[in-house]
Amino acid sequence: MPAEAVELVAARFKVLSEPVRIQILQALHDGPLSVNDITGAIGSTQSNVSKHLRLLQDAGFVSRRQRGNTVFYSIADESVFKLCDVVCSSLKEKFAEQNGIFS
């Protein structure tokens, strides 16, 4: 793999390295949500959620749509869930004795 491609892959993983961003993606799994809905779903502040949404949007994981004064976000790249499934399955196998950690 060329060095440029490796850098792009690493940058994509870096965006997913923050737990709040994973929580945001999980919140958006079932459909679009407003910033306020996401804030309530993950128990964070609006400014913190907005900062992470901007990074997720810049990376192409989420898209943004404005309706009146309300901004809604949705998943733009469904492959992120396949990646999370692979990682979670691997961790489930590795830590099977720690029941409940991935429920």
Higher pLDDT, 90 or 23: 23
Strand ranges (E), 1-103: 33-34, 62-67, 70-75
- pTM, two decimals, is 0.84
- Ordered domains of the chain (ranges, CATH): 3-77 (1.10.10.10)
Nearest to 79 by CA among 17, 33, 37, 16: 16
**CA 82, chain centre distance (Å):** 12
Residue 88: its pLDDT value, please?
Answer: 81
Instruction: Quickly state the pLDDT bin for 99 (edges 50, 70, 90).
Output: low
Residue 89: its pLDDT value, please?
Answer: 81
